[in-house]
Amino acid sequence: MTRTVERVRIMRGREWARPVRPVTREVLGVVPDVEEGRPPLLFVPGFGHGAWAYAEHWLAHAADRGFPAHAVSLRGHGGSGAAPEATLRAYAHDVVQVAAGLPRQAVLVGHGAGALVVAHALARYPARAAVLVAPVLGGWATAVTALRRNPLGTLPAAVGAGLRLHRRQLFSRELPDSDARRYAARLGRAGWRAQWQLLAGATPEPAVGGPPVLVLGSPDDRVVPPAALTRAARRYGSAPLLFPGMGHDMMLDARWREPIDAILDWLVKDPTADDGR
């Protein structure tokens, strides 16, 4: 018999000595009319967005298909408590705390920079599965792309101000301009520390339990180029699922049903069955 020894990091000393400051967290949810035993979904918005971005379409649609659906506003976003100096660690803490309070092992779904938050949370929470939607996973390649495509909106972030994204970066031309303006007007800003950590490309620790991870996005995304989608998917041993013609904010764009149905179809097939769980 061959015995293998797995090294497990039991305690993070710095985190124990300097715990994350508690904050009021906004969590929105929609549950199915009939309980079908499907795993709960926890949606994590990207920087500047709140739980409202998922409440517009995806929460109710997921519940209609039998999935309990919840969305958290990271601290400093939406209806959660103010946190101008929040870090990626604090954002990941918010996600883990909400996920741990759900009745069953959850599926984490992160959009944009929220995908990076989910990647960090996966090192602390044994998710059933994870989905990264139009993921912004950070690093200097992200910074260079942002500067090239949106210099006026990105440069202020380099000196601690908020990152500004134009509505035409976020949505396709199929979305009525009135809706695009309304959504863009609701955008806030992330903590300046978290923005710097995003640009520095803080590498997440390995996910607990190695959950299956689905990566999806659009080749026409004006924030995340196709090469970045491919790199993100390869990190998790897969290829990205692409939706041509859509913008970065896939959960709000005109064809919002296509990506959420693809996510739910993937989950209905039970991706954990492939790895023996």
* Residue 239, domain CATH: 3.40.50.1820
- Residues of the chain with pLDDT below 50 are 1-11, 143, 147, 151-155, 275-277
Output the pLDDT for position 7: 34
Distance CA(36)–CA(21), nearest Å, equals: 36
Provide the residue type at 230 as one letter: T
Paired with 129 in beta bridges are 107
Contact 105, 167 (CB under 8 A): no
In a domain, 9, yes or no: no
In a domain, 19, yes or no: no
Output the pLDDT for position 2: 32
Which residues constitute the domain of residue 104? 24-270
Question: What does 39-95 look like in DSSP terms, one character per residue?
Answer: PPEEEE--TT--THHHHTTHHHHHHHTT--EEEEEPTTSTTSPP-TT--HHHHHHHH
Output the pLDDT for position 204: 87
Output the pLDDT for position 193: 87
Tens of pLDDT, residues 185-225:
999 888 878 887 887 777 889 999 999 999 999 999 988 98
Structural domain total, the chain: 1
Output the pLDDT for position 154: 46
In a domain, 14, yes or no: no
Output the pLDDT for position 163: 56
pTM reported for the whole predicted model? 0.87
In a domain, 4, yes or no: no
